[in-house]
Amino acid sequence: MIEVDIETKLGAFALAAKFAAPASGVTALFGRSGTGKTSVVNALAGLITPARGRIAVRGETLFDSERRINLPPEKRRLGYIFQEGRLFPHYSVRGNLLYGAKRFDAAALNRIVALLGLGELLHRRPGDLSGGEKQRVAIGRAILAEPQLLLMDEPLAALDAARKEEILPFIAALRGALDIPVIYVSHAMEEVIRLADMLVLVDGGRIAATGTVEALTSRIDLRPLTGRFEAGAVIRTVLRGHDKAYGLSELAFPGGRLRVPHIDLPLGSKLRLRIHARDVVLAATAPQGLSIRNAFAGRVVEISPEDGPLVDLRLDIGTPAEPVMLWARVTQRALADLRLAVGSPVHALVKTVALERPSPGGERAFGETYEAG
Amino acid sequence: MLTLTPVESAALLLSLRVAFVGTVCSLPLALAVAWLLARRRFVGQQLLNGVVHLPLVLPPVVVGFALLVLFGRHGPVGGWLYDVFGLTFAFNWKGAALAAAAMGFPLMTRAMRLSLETVDRRLEAAARTLGASRSRVFWTITLPLMSPGILTGAILGFARSMGEFGATITFVSNIPGETQTLPLALYAFTQVPGGDPPAFRLCVIAVIVAMAALFASEVMARRLDRSVRGAS
């Protein structure tokens, strides 16, 4: 477990953060700029000392104001990947990579160099690298110090969209290749959904909620924090079958199967899908004679109170034992015409799904969007 | 023209030795003071800052006289150094080096402090998170990154030492072969009839030495700067 319970004042800003996250997978600290995300990570790394509280990682107390424990940063074994890379300008890329290594391990170096595609860069200086290359070196440098936890503070924020796309697969590849838990700070929900398992919502120096990405993104009361624009649900599925004749693959979730264009992964692969609210069409009765094949029966669980012409509905298309939440965005007019209310049975038609993350360890590119057949 | 007279070569070699020893010996102390002034906050910091800068604003004769009082054989510091180490500064080249170091000290400290203030402390924090202790961070990050400032400070201190006159003549007098550095020799020539031509020769030597030092420092500074900026 990663346990954080700290209070401190930063100028006029009061930070009181308390959360626990599993010491595995990726936990995202998500919130707007200036809400205290970076301060939490700095406290974890020992770069700032909170006024009061306790921090423990995997049972080891790093900070405890009552017991007067405050390990210096170099004793905490936490890898920190900063927004601006912070490479040492007077070292080569190779020198940077090896700076934190306890001993020279050629095999480990080669593995990280291959994983992050740094082979061509080893003898260059940081001044000659692009922003994306710098960030890849920074990631490799942190990993080669053999940390027990990786802290990433908006590692993509300083990069343009193309560079982000260049780095994201590398970060995702780390999930599978290394068994290091990650705390990932971000204010971009797209990144969080692609990478994270757990979500810690930070708002105004406090923790608003902690839970799985699926659970928190489907809660209407948290929508002001998780964002409305890209409203959508995240669904975990398992690759269950291939339909060779039609070139389709079947992704199973509790309560149904989604058909998508062929995915070249072995059966049983775990895949996470994001279905945007705007890609879900609602029908009051079972649809017939439509080209959309992905239709699921469910019921309305929640209707978001909105002033505008559009309204978001949360649907449950799973089983009683394992609910699966889906969002649909319809007009107020449609809502009235279909006479939908909380509890109404409804059929959800899914137009498009985005494959957010292949199974951990998968090397393929992701973030692909599929027209659901 | 190129062959130096014994007096000239003695003065030149003495000047180089005095300036070199004075600069090298005071460099670690200047670095420590620059660190205190740039990185620490303590009571009396402004007083320390003032004392360090005094030689820059005081007449050099005052500095020389103060050294004479403090570091003379019977002075509070000089007496102790003599008793413990058998070290004496009065009227020898070591005293000239001490005078040169005192006069160059504010320039060295200032250059180092300014460069230390430009070192990105976020890089030091990054090094700590990679497991580096404070001292390793200092030797591998801080010191290399401020090396252009250390070089600048050393060159300034050296140049100031080469030209030192007032404090030296007050503290250790003008003894040929012992404390008569180049400026003092030049001064001696101007005080005797017919001394102008040899004085002029010393002037030319001083200019050549100064130009060589400037050229060398420029080359070194460029090389250092390139390595610190991180472009290959």
Q: Could you report the per-residue pLDDT of A294-306, keeping only the tens digit for each? A: 888 899 988 877 7
Gap from A165 CA to chain B (nearest CA, Å): 25
3-state SS record for B65-86: HHHHHHHCCCCHHHHHHHHHHC
SS3 assignment, position A372: coil
Mean pLDDT of A179-194: 86
Q: Which residues face A52 on adjacent strands? A: A7
pLDDT above 70 (res A11): yes
Please check whether residue B61 touches A, CB under 8 A. no
Domain enclosing residue A45, as ranges: 2-224
DSSP β-ladder status, A13-21 and A149-153: unpaired
| Residues in Cβ contact with A31 at an 8 Å cutoff, skipping those fewer than 6 apart | A37, A187, A201, A202, A203, A208, A225
Q: What is the pLDDT of residue A359?
A: 40
pLDDT number for residue A371: 58
User: In this structure, are A175 and A247 located in the same domain?
Assistant: no
Q: What are phi and psi of B159, to 5 degrees?
A: -65, -40
Q: Please measure the distance between the N-terminal and C-terminal CA atoms of chain A and give it in whole angstroms.
A: 41
Residues A148, A249, single domain; the answer is no
Q: Which of A163, A190, A224 is the last residue of a domain?
A: A224
pLDDT higher than threshold 80 for residue A277:
yes
A90 contacts B230? CB cut-off 8 A: yes
Residue A23 has pLDDT above 70, yes or no: yes
User: Nearest CA of chain B to the CA of A124: how many Å?
Assistant: 7
Contacts of A299 (CB under 8 A, 6+ apart): A315, A316, A343, A344, A345, A346
pLDDT of residue A96: 95
The radius of gyration of chain A from alpha carbons, rounded to an integer in Å, stands at 23
User: pLDDT per residue over A235-258, tens digit each?
Assistant: 888 888 888 888 888 889 888 888
Contact call for A47 and B128, based on CB within 8 A? yes
Of B126, B144, B229, the CB nearest to A86: B126
> Across residues A169-195, what is the average pLDDT?
83
Which of B130, B228, B230 is opposite residue A99, by nearest beta carbon? Answer: B130
Total domains in chain A come to: 2
**Beta-carbon pairs below 8 A across chains A and B:** 72
CA distances from B1 to B5, B9, B186, B198, B201 (A): 10, 13, 17, 11, 8
Nearest CA in chain B to A145: B130
Beta strands in A136-205 (DSSP E): 149-153, 182-186, 198-203
The pLDDT value recorded for residue A230 is 59
- B131 CB within 8 Å of a chain A CB: yes
- Mean pLDDT, residues A109-138 taken together: 90
Model confidence at A369, pLDDT cuts 50, 70, 90, reads low
A370 φ, ψ (degrees, to nearest 5): -120, 135
A215, A281: one domain: no
Instruction: Say if residue A162 is in the same domain as residue A238.
Output: no
Q: Which of B130, B141, B227 sits opposite A141 (nearest CB)?
A: B130
The answer, yes or no, to whether residue A3 has pLDDT greater than 90, is yes
- What integer pLDDT is reported at residue A361 of this predicted model? 38
pLDDT at A278: 81
Q: Which residue has the tokens 């030092």?
A: B213
Residue A320: pLDDT band (50, 70, 90) is confident
In a mutagenesis test of the A interface, which of B129, B143, B146 is the best target, namely the one with the most A β-carbons within 10 Å? B129
CATH of residue A249's domain is 2.40.50.100
Q: Are residues A134 and A276 in the same domain?
A: no
Chain position carrying tokens 């007032």: B166
Provide the pLDDT for residue B86: 85
The pLDDT, as a whole number, for residue A356 is 61
Mean pLDDT computed over A315-327: 86
Does the pLDDT of residue A83 top 60, yes or no? yes
Token representation of residue B35: 């660190």
> What is the distance between the alpha carbons of residues A150 and A180, in angstroms, rounded to a whole number?
7
B122 in reach of chain A (CB within 8 A): yes
User: Which residue ranges in chain B fall short of pLDDT 70?
Assistant: 1-2, 230-232
Per the listing, tokens 């699926």 go with A214
Question: What is the reported pLDDT for B2?
Answer: 63
Q: Is the pLDDT of residue A372 over 70?
A: no
Residues of A in contact with B141 (CB under 8 A): 88
**Lowest-confidence region among A125-139, A203-217, B54-68:** A203-217
User: pLDDT > 70: what percent of chain A?
Assistant: 92
* 3-state class (DSSP) for residue A226: helix
Is residue A163 located within the same domain as residue A19?
A: yes
Mean pLDDT of A141-155: 92
Q: Do B123 and A88 touch (CB under 8 A)?
A: yes
- Give counts: helices (H), strands (E), chain A: 9, 22
Residues A70-87 have a mean pLDDT of 93
Cβ atoms of A145 and A105 within 8 Å: the answer is no
Task: State how far residue A131 is from chain B, nearest Cα, in angstroms.
Answer: 14
Q: Which domains does chain B have, with CATH numbers?
A: 6-229 (1.10.3720.10)
Element (H, E) at A363: none
Among A84, A100, A127, beta carbon nearest to B130: A100
pLDDT over threshold 50, residue A365: no
Q: Which residues of B touch A100 (CB under 8 A)?
A: 130-132
Residue A74 is nearest to which of B133, B227, B232, comparing CB atoms? B133
Residue A157 and residue A143: Cα distance in Å, rounded? 20
Cα angle A168-A169-A170, degrees, rounded to a multiple of 5: 90
Looking at CA atoms only, how far is residue B131 from chain A in angstroms? Answer: 4
Q: What percent of chain A has pLDDT over 90?
A: 31
Residue A115 and residue A246 in one domain:
no
Question: B232 and A72: CB-CB below 8 Å?
Answer: no
Residue A94: burial class (beta carbons within 10 Å; 0-12, 13-18, 19+): middle
Q: Tell me the backbone φ, ψ of residue B10, rounded to 5 degrees.
A: -60, -45
Residues A171 and A286 in one domain: no
Same domain, A138 and A269: no
Q: Is the dihedral of CA A271, A277, A278, A282 positive or negative?
A: positive
Q: Is the pLDDT of residue A366 over 50?
A: no
Q: What is the CATH number of the domain that holds A212?
A: 3.40.50.300
3-state secondary structure A73-120: HHHCCEEEECCCCCCCCCCCHHHHHHCCCCCCCHHHHHHHHHHHCCHH
Domain boundary among A163, A191, A224: A224
Please say if the pLDDT value at position A5 is more than 90.
yes
pLDDT at position A340 is: 86
Residue A11 to chain B, least CA–CA distance (Å)? 19
Query: Which residues in B lie closer than 8 A to residue A44 (C-beta atoms)?
Result: none
Instruction: Examine the domain organization and report whether A247 and A178 are in the same domain.
Output: no
Contact B126 A82 (CB under 8 A): yes
Residue A216 pLDDT level (bands cut at 50, 70, 90): confident
Select from B125, B128, B230 the Cβ nearest to the Cβ of A127.
B230
pLDDT of A40 above 50? yes
User: What band does A72 get if pLDDT is binned at 50, 70 and 90?
Assistant: very high
Q: Is A45 on the interface with B (CB under 8 A)?
A: yes
Among A224, A256, A280, the domain-final residue is A224
Chain B, window 140-179: residues with a beta carbon less than 8 angstroms from a chain A beta carbon: 140-141, 144-145
A193: which DSSP letter?
H
How confident is residue A370, by pLDDT bands cut at 50, 70 and 90? low
Interface touch A82/B231, C-beta < 8 Å: no
Nearest residue in chain A measured CA to CA from B130: A100
Closest C-alpha among A42, A78, A23 to residue A153: A42
Residue A324: pLDDT band (50, 70, 90) is confident
**Which chain B residue has its CA at the smallest distance from A75's CA?**
B131
Averaged pLDDT score across all residues of chain A: 84
pLDDT for A64: 94
CA–CA gap between residue A238 and residue A173 (Å, rounded)? 19
Q: Of A57, A99, A103, A153, which to mutate for an interface test with B (greatest number of B Cβ within 10 Å)?
A: A99
For residue A360, the model assigns a pLDDT of 41
Do A33 and A176 reside in the same domain of the chain?
Answer: yes
Residue of A nearest to B223 (CA): A90
Evaluate if residue A228 carries a pLDDT over 70.
no
**Which residues are CB-neighbours of A267 under 8 A, at least 6 positions away?**
A239, A240, A241, A242
Residues A256 and A218 in one domain: no
